[in-house]
Amino acid sequence: MKPRILMTRAVFPDVIERLEQYFDVESNQDDHIFSVDELTQKLQGKDGVFTTPSERISAQVIAACPGLKAICNMAVGYNNIDLDAATRAGIMVTNTPEVLNETTADFAWALLLAAARRVTESEHWLRAGKWQKWRYDSFLGADIHGSTLGIIGMGRIGQGIARRSTGFNMRVIYHNRSRLPVEKEAAANHAQYVSKEELLRSADHVVLALPYSAESHHTIGAAELAMMKTSATLVNIARGGIVDDAALVAALRAGRIGAAGLDVFENEPAFDPAFLALSNVVLTPHIASASESTRRAMANCAADNLIAALTGDLPPNILNPDVQSRE
By annotation, the residues acting in catalysis are 239, 268, 286
Closest separation in Å from C-beta 67 to ligand DGY: 27
Q: What distance in Å separates the CA atoms of residue 212 and residue 240, rounded to the nearest whole number?
A: 8
E-strand stretches of 153-199: 171-175, 192-193
Rule CB under 6 A: which of 91-120 touch ligand DGY? Answer: 100
Site for ligand DGY (CB under 6 A): which residue of 3, 77, 153, 155? 77
Closest separation in Å from C-beta 105 to ligand DGY: 13
Return the number of the residue (111 or 173) whose C-beta is nearest ligand DGY.
111
Rule CB under 6 A: which of 32-71 touch ligand DGY? Answer: 53
Return the number of the residue (159 or 289) whose C-beta is nearest ligand DGY.
289
Which residues neighbour 178 within 8 Å (Cβ) at sequence distance 6 or greater?
none
Rule CB under 6 A: which of 225-284 touch ligand DGY? Answer: none
Size of the site for ligand DGY (CB under 6 A): 7
Burial (CB count <10 Å: 0-12, 13-18, 19+), residue 26: middle
Closest separation in Å from C-beta 239 to ligand DGY: 7
Closest separation in Å from C-beta 295 to ligand DGY: 8
Cis status of the peptide bond prior to 211, with omega within 30 of 0: no
Return the number of the residue (76 or 207) whose C-beta is nearest ligand DGY.
76
153 interacts with ligand DGY by CB under 6 A: no
**Half-sphere exposure of residue 117: CA atoms within 13 angstroms, side-chain side:** 10
Give a three-class secondary structure readout of 42-88.
Answer: HCCCCCEEEECCCCCECHHHHHCCCCCCEEEECCCCCCCECHHHHHH
Q: What distance in Å separates the CA atoms of residue 85 and residue 58, rounded to the nearest whole number?
A: 8
Q: What distance in Å separates the CA atoms of residue 289 and residue 108, rounded to the nearest whole number?
A: 10
Site for ligand DGY (CB under 6 A): which residue of 49, 68, 72, 75? 75
Rule CB under 6 A: which of 283-302 touch ligand DGY? Answer: 286, 289
Residue 315: what residue type?
P
CB 271 within 8 A of CB 245: yes
Return the number of the residue (25 or 299) whose C-beta is nearest ligand DGY.
299
Return the number of the residue (98 or 143) whose C-beta is nearest ligand DGY.
98
- Segment lying near ligand DGY (by CB under 6 A), choices 29-37, 74-82, 249-257, 269-277: 74-82
Closest separation in Å from C-beta 191 to ligand DGY: 22
Return the number of the residue (107 or 275) whose C-beta is nearest ligand DGY.
107
76 interacts with ligand DGY by CB under 6 A: yes
* β-strand partners of 171: 148
Q: What distance in Å separates the CA atoms of residue 195 and residue 174, rounded to the nearest whole number?
A: 8
Q: Which residues bind ligand DGY (CB under 6 A)?
A: 53, 75-77, 100, 286, 289
